[in-house]
Structure 1
Amino acid sequence: MRHTYECPVRWADMDMLQHVNNVTYVDYLQEARIDMFMAHPEFAGGEELAEGVVVVRHELDFVAPLVFRSRPVLVDAWISEIRAASFTMSYEVYDEDASGRRVYVRASSLLAPFVFATERPRRITDREREVLSRYLEPGVDRTPVAADGSSQYVFPLKVRWSDVDAYRHVNNVKYIEYFQEARLRYLMHLHREGDTFGGIVVARTDVDYRRPILFRLEPYEVDSWVSHVGRTSFVIAAEIRDRTGSVPGGEVLATSRSVLVGFDQQTQRSAPLTEDHRARLLDELGAG
């Protein structure tokens, strides 16, 4: 069984290509997840599940661009795996009409129940397991993305007060935004005068959450590098680090792998990377 959430599409969700920005989809998933826990009376203690979980991992595959319109987009949410102290929620963001289903994003979130008063995880209760099992359906298998390499660009990350949630942690959605900001700065850094770089879009993003990010005046750092280069796509890996402590090289707070694809805005289809762009990326791959 699946839960379906009607998610509003806002004008502010759009990017420069007039598509819903890849970061915004994570917000859609969060809204669908909370709606699922809060909307069904069979979720005894649904408020606890809605508010008392932490995200351990997000996986997103971007299938087709979604453009602005007045009607909501549909988000299906279901449970694809249950373990002792965590569970996986899978999602599809889509439209459906007489001609069939058009999927924009397939995604999953690994979630762990958490007691914020003690800052400790907890096991899933028998009642929670029984209710979650009613929504159990298979997820989608995925192949891992290459992350080999070492830091080639460091972006200073300033946390805004508005990034912090009710538990005084940076909200999980903001991590995706942080990695996007660092990635764009890295790509701008690679550009040389006279280069011809084509358009790109994000095809896939995986994020692992290791430690909470807290508000502070001193910036964190995002290390980025190129871990794979193909003809039409490439991978940028990144880590958010806290280098203020005693851990050599800094403590890793989150990691990311993003697959980016060349994109032709006229045809709205994937396209080969330009020679200049691919050459710069291959230089970075060799350096890493």
Structure 2
Amino acid sequence: MPADPTVHEVSMRWADLDSLNHVNNVVYLDYAAESRAMLVDDGLVRADEQVSRIAIDFLRPLLLSPRPVQVWSTREGDDLTQEIRSTGSAAVFARVVTTLGARSEVKRHPATEEALPSRVRRSDLDPTGSVSTTKMFELFQEARILFVAGRLTSMSPGRFVVGRVDVSFGEPMLWRAEPYAAQNRISRIGDSSVTIESQLTADDVVLAQCNTVMVGFDLEAQTSRRLSDEEKAEFAGSAD
């Protein structure tokens, strides 16, 4: 890949928005994946290169615009870094780092909570018959929302925002009628954020692991905030 970034444009849709009228976190992965497919078409990424890890930092909310999203891509070794921007703006809304190469076995963490069922739809599958990496982010998001909602007495929109998501992929996740298991646990509680570690499993096999940093957010001021003592206590109820 050349030293200068390769820039692709991806259209935005109304369906990309969440309840706060921001682009949904998972959709950033759609933008990055669409651009990655274009990089394959351009001959800058091989079609047979496997994705072993994806980490995304959410830097600022992205609103719906008639202008397309721009994805600026650069590659160093196995790491493909993609910055999500709005056409005509230098601001970076999210940064996605995709590690390409062979996947490693993901070790299972001790179960501290009852697993949640995670059901796969046929529309979640990619051309190989496996759940796509973007859809696996979505499955982790669904499990995380249910997990947090079960811990907090109040889960109003905008109370928390996701700062970072880091997913390592293991064995392929195939369609089956039986739900997979989503295991979640709190791994860290800070002054203004909490880290949730999640795994998608089939029996004793870990298909993927996700570490998510959720940040306390002041919706009116549009800034991060410190967690209340009550929030810390509720999260600590499931902490190691």
- What does residue 16 of structure 1 align with? 19
- What does residue 58 of structure 1 align with? 54
Equivalent in 145, 152, 170 of residue 210 of structure 1: 170
Q: Is the 8 A contact 2:51 2:102 kept in 1?
A: no
Q: CA deviation at 1:235?
A: 0.3
- 3-state SS in 1 of match to 2:22: coil
Q: Is the 8 A contact 2:17 2:23 kept in 1?
A: yes
Equivalent in 73, 82, 93 of residue 91 of structure 1: 82
Letter in 2 for 1:59: A
Q: Structure 1 residues 233, 103: CA separation in 2 closer, same or farther (over 3 Å shift)?
A: same
Equivalent in 227, 232, 235 of residue 273 of structure 1: 227
Q: CA deviation at 1:148?
A: 7.9
Counting only pairs closer than 5 Å after superposition, residues 1-288 of structure 1 correspond to structure 2 as 1-38=4-41, 40=42, 43=43, 49-50=46-47, 52-81=48-77, 87-95=78-86, 97=88, 101-112=90-101, 150-192=111-153, 199-243=159-203, 250-285=204-239, 288=240
- 3-state SS in 1 of match to 2:220: coil
- 3-state SS in 1 of match to 2:191: coil
Q: CA deviation at 1:88?
A: 1.7
- 3-state SS in 2 of match to 1:203: strand
Q: What do the CA deviations read for 1:141-196 (whole angstroms, capped 9, x no partner)?
A: xxxxxx9874324110111011111111111111100100000000111134xx58
Letter in 2 for 1:222: A
CA distance in 2, matches of 1:201, 1:156: 24
Q: What do the CA deviations read for 1:100-145 (whole angstroms, capped 9, x no partner)?
A: 621101121111389xxxxxxxxxxxxxxxxxxxxxxxxxxxxxxx
CA RMSD in angstroms comes to: 2.2
Q: What do the CA deviations read for 1:24-61 (whole angstroms, capped 9, x no partner)?
A: 111111011111221x3xx2xx7x823x2321000111
Q: Is the 8 A contact 1:149 1:227 kept in 2?
A: no
CA distance in 2, matches of 1:196, 1:221: 23
- 3-state SS in 1 of match to 2:18: coil
CA distance in 2, matches of 1:168, 1:15: 28
CA distance in 2, matches of 1:151, 1:26: 29
CA distance in 2, matches of 1:254, 1:206: 10
Letter in 2 for 1:95: S
- 3-state SS in 2 of match to 1:69: coil
Q: What do the CA deviations read for 1:208-240 (whole angstroms, capped 9, x no partner)?
A: 000000001011101000000111111000111
CA distance in 2, matches of 1:200, 1:153: 23
Which structure 2 segments of 5+ residues have no match? Answer: none
Question: When the two structures are superposed, what TM-score results if normalisation uses the length of structure 1?
Answer: 0.75
- 3-state SS in 1 of match to 2:96: strand
CA distance in 1, matches of 2:155, 2:238: 17
Large movers: runs of 4+ above 6 Å:
none
Q: Is the 8 A contact 1:196 1:277 kept in 2?
A: no
- 3-state SS in 1 of match to 2:66: coil
Q: Structure 1 residues 196, 187: CA separation in 2 closer, same or farther (over 3 Å shift)?
A: closer
- What does residue 136 of structure 1 align with? none
Letter in 2 for 1:102: A
Q: Which is worse superposed, 63-72 or 147-156?
A: 147-156
Q: Is the 8 A contact 1:96 1:102 kept in 2?
A: no
Q: Is the 8 A contact 2:171 2:207 kept in 1?
A: yes
Q: Is the 8 A contact 1:196 1:274 kept in 2?
A: no
